[in-house]
């Protein structure tokens, strides 16, 4: 818990001052006490209260004043808040190696299905955009809440040569800047927005290593300057199978559709996990390893709670004011109630024995 006006906590010093005045007042009353000849008569006149009851209103009053003192300092509690205004850029690798059949039926199909499930799960939440990359990167769908548009775009993805991970991150940053004024586009000077992360994030899914374009770490530094986290996913096994894509997933650059046997010596690159971890670490994101479709869906399923829920400082001064007021009201009510109850003293004795006789 933090305080907006911590200096207002000095108001708590009023509590011991109030009780010091109360103690001095009681002491003066004792000194001004009237001497009587009969102790028994005094005992009869005293209210018939249990001693500890006298301290309950005082304790409630002290607690109420303390709570009000804390409320005057404008306390703020840190609570998790869903961020419906967040923007997520899905950046998917569509290089030729995504035709590998080590993931059934092949990597590109499994990735598209997992991405589709992720998009459906976010309906009514953050905006989602789609960037794809192979030899270059491009924005396919700008950030939107139109789920069907995103799903249709996924269905039409085909593979190409190359893997430009760094360029994909830069393209995603530019796409975010188009809908989020707090994010500077590439080439512009990022504004100093203070600590914490932006309400936007990038998810990079790839099965290989950067082969051309901007170095991923250079792109990660641009994202870090804008406080945009990049979450990376390394997809596929370390022993890829033959590459088989159907005609709707193949651009023809690697041979006839459906033909396997991609030349590993000319184009095959295993996942550069060190580079993906470094990108995530630089931006404050996380790296996930997914060797099959289930692990990929699990990795994507963990992401929303990571960057669509943020901790916000909420002013709770009103709660303190209400609680303090209730405690003080309870103290006053109990004090009045117990002080006005029949005490069983001289008044009651007169009621039972009648009026005192005059004379002898």
Instruction: Report the pLDDT value the prediction gives residue 347, as an integer from 0 to 100.
Output: 44
Q: Order across the sheet with 87-93: list the strands.
A: 137-144, 127-133, 87-93, 200-206, 229-235, 287-290
Instruction: Report the pLDDT value the prediction gives residue 172, as an integer from 0 to 100.
Output: 97
Domains of the chain: 2-78+316-353 (no CATH), 84-307 (3.40.50.410)
* pLDDT top residue among 342 and 118: 118
Instruction: Report the pLDDT value the prediction gives residue 239, as an integer from 0 to 100.
Output: 86
Q: Residue 53 to residues 29, 81, 152: CA-CA distances in angstroms? A: 20, 44, 74
Which residue pairs from 6-15 have beta carbons closer than 8 angstroms and sit at least 24 positions apart in sequence?
Answer: 6/73, 7/73, 8/69, 8/72, 8/73, 8/74, 9/69, 9/70, 9/72, 9/73, 11/68, 11/69, 11/72, 11/73, 12/65, 12/66, 12/69, 12/70, 14/65, 14/69, 15/62, 15/65, 15/66, 15/69
Query: Which tens digit of pLDDT belongs to each residue from 65-86?
Result: 777 777 777 776 766 555 556 8
* pLDDT top residue among 23 and 276: 276
Which of 41-55, 266-280, 310-324 shows the lowest mean pLDDT across its residues?
41-55
Query: Which tens digit of pLDDT belongs to each residue from 164-202?
Result: 999 999 999 999 999 988 899 999 988 766 667 888 899
Instruction: Report the pLDDT value the prediction gives residue 303, as an integer from 0 to 100.
Output: 80
Query: Which tens digit of pLDDT belongs to each residue from 282-301?
Result: 999 999 999 999 999 999 98
Query: Which tens digit of pLDDT belongs to each residue from 199-220?
Result: 889 999 999 999 999 999 999 9
Confidence band for 222, pLDDT divided at 50, 70 and 90: very high
What's the CA gap between 38 and 11, in Å, rounded? 46
**341 has pLDDT over 90:** no
Give percent of the chain with pLDDT exceeding 70: 65
* pLDDT top residue among 35 and 286: 286
**263 has pLDDT over 80:** no
CA 167-171-172 angle, to 5 degrees, is 115
* pLDDT top residue among 44 and 65: 65
């Amino acid at each position: 818990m933090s305080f907006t006006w911590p200096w207002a906590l000095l108001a708590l010093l009023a509590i011991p001052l109030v009780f010091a005045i109360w103690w001095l007042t009681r002491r003066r009353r004792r000194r001004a006490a009237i001497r009587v000849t009969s102790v028994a008569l005094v005992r009869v006149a005293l209210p018939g209260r249990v001693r500890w009851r006298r301290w309950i209103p005082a304790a409630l009053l002290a607690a109420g004043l303390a709570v009000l003192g804390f409320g005057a300092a404008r306390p703020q509690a840190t609570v998790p808040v869903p961020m419906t205004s967040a923007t997520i850029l899905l950046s998917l690798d569509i290089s030729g190696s995504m035709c590998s059949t080590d993931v059934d039926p092949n990597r590109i199909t499994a990735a598209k299905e997992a991405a589709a499930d992720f998009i459906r799960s976010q309906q009514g939440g953050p905006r989602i955009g789609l960037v794809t990359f192979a030899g270059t990167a491009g924005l396919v769908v700008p950030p939107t809440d139109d789920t069907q548009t995103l799903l249709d775009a996924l269905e039409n993805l085909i593979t190409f040569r190359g893997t430009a991970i760094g360029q994909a991150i830069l393209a995603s940053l530019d796409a975010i800047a188009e809908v989020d004024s707090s994010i500077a586009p590439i080439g512009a000077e990022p504004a100093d927005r203070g600590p914490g992360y932006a309400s936007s994030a990038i998810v990079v899914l790839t099965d290989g290593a950067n082969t051309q374009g901007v170095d991923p770490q250079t792109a990660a530094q641009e994202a870090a300057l804008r406080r945009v986290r990049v979450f990376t996913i390394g997809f596929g096994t370390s022993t890829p199978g033959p590459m088989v894509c159907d005609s709707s997933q193949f651009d023809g650059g690697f041979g006839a559709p459906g033909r396997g046997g991609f030349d590993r010596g000319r184009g095959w690159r295993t996942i550069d996990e060190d580079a993906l971890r470094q990108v995530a670490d630089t931006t404050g994101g996380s790296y996930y390893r997914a060797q099959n479709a289930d692990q990929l869906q699990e990795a994507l399923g963990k992401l929303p709670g990571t960057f669509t829920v943020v901790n916000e400082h909420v002013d709770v001064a009103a709660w303190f004011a209400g609680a303090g007021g209730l405690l003080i009201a309870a103290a006053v009510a109990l004090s009045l109630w117990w002080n006005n109850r029949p005490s069983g003293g001289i008044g009651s004795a007169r009621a039972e024995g009648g009026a005192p006789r005059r004379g002898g």
